[in-house]
Structure 1
Amino acid sequence: MSKIHIVFGPQGAGKSTYSKKLADEVKGIHLGIDNWMWKLYGDDLPKSMNLKWIMERVERCEKLIWELSEDISNRGCDVILDLGFTKQEKRKLFKQLAEENGKEIQLHYVSAKHPIRRKRVLDRNVNRGKTFSFEVTPGMFDFMEGEFHKPTESELMNAVIIDTNPKE
């Protein structure tokens, strides 16, 4: 039976890198929100930060991504959802959608210390490597830090926990 993998964690923790590796390991399909948002709406981004505008489009992408996820899963292939899942309510919603549709779910929590994550995000702006979709300014990073809901004990109970801090 195929699985829906919900990958979550704060920005810069390594969710996209981990998700792509997981997709290779399970021969699954990786669906990442950053790529969708940038390719669909990047050219239309307002000049000043407009969270309402962005979130309306994120919601549209998430609905389409879920429909695609169901179709892929129904064909027997694992789906790796790399949608940020910063809010506990969003994680709960996607878990509920999967359960209502008889899908097996696996949560994956990716974490790293704040200074490491901040450096990764700012370095990504410069290097523009494989996981770069759009520039995240220091102000955007700081704002999004406050938006992340730390996982509850019950969320982590059966989750795969990945610590991406560099080994010392």
Structure 2
Amino acid sequence: MTPPTPMLHLVCGKIAAGKSTLTGTLAAAPKTILLSEDHWLARLYPDELTSVADYIRLSARLRQVQGPHVVALLRAGLSVVLDFPANTPALRRWMRGLFEEAGAAHTLHYLDVPDEVCRQRLRARNAAGGHDYAATDAEFDAITRYFVPPDPAEGFSVLRYPTG
């Protein structure tokens, strides 16, 4: 029997759309590893991440390290759930390079959730205190300005999750 092709799971959605919840579920599959950007950033740069500009700089640094690691995991036959936001064409191009270099399959999970639902979830998440970052409404607005839904022309295998 042929072993299954390793899969790179990507997630696209605004803050508090449910990306981390979904990635946790996907990572429960056998031979599957979860890599969470928020987890790594919070532990590597606990005192340096104070603004959107810091996030852009530090997440780029993290991608430089994680990219080859993701490719190696996929080549080793493991599936990877990449809990990094695939929220811009540039980030999705980086992710495409990973599964193409590894010769792996992919699915882009798109959580299509309206802003107001995300804001409600964000406020509840902040109140519960269980997430690495507690974004404010202003930070939600600043980051959401950069959000670009996946376009069919990008050529991804997209699984869309409508408003939850």
Bin of the TM-score, shorter chain as denominator length: 0.7 to 0.9
Does residue 25 (structure 1) correspond to residue 26 (structure 2)? The answer is no
Matches of 1:58 and 1:157, distance apart in 2? 22
CA RMSD of aligned residues (A): 1.9
Matches of 1:105 and 1:50, distance apart in 2? 28
Please report the TM-score for the alignment, with normalisation by the length of structure 2: 0.88
Deviations 1:82-109 (A, max 9, x none): 1112211210221133213322222111
Once the two structures are superposed, the pairs formed by residues 128-143 of structure 1 within 5 Å of their partners are 128-129=129-130, 132-143=131-142
Which residue number corresponds to residue 57 of structure 2? Answer: 56
Aligned residues, how many? 160
Does residue 43 (structure 1) correspond to residue 42 (structure 2)? The answer is no
Larger helix proportion, structure 1 or 2?
Answer: 1
Matches of 1:105 and 1:133, distance apart in 2? 27
Q: Percent identity?
A: 28
Gaps of 5+ in 1: none
Which residue number corresponds to residue 147 of structure 2? Answer: 148
Deviations 1:5-62 (A, max 9, x none): 111111111011001101113541111111111111122334xx351x3312111111
Matches of 1:105 and 1:157, distance apart in 2? 8
Please report the TM-score for the alignment, with normalisation by the length of structure 1: 0.86
Matches of 1:157 and 1:77, distance apart in 2? 20
Which residue number corresponds to residue 6 of structure 2? Answer: 2
Does residue 160 (structure 1) correspond to residue 154 (structure 2)? The answer is no
Gaps of 5+ in 2: none
For the residue of structure 1 that corresponds to 2:98, the secondary structure is helix
Matches of 1:50 and 1:148, distance apart in 2? 13
Deviates more, 1:2-11 or 1:149-158: 149-158
Moved over 3 A (4+): 154-157
Matches of 1:29 and 1:45, distance apart in 2? 25
The answer (yes or no) to whether the contact 1:109–1:156 under 8 Å persists in 2 is no
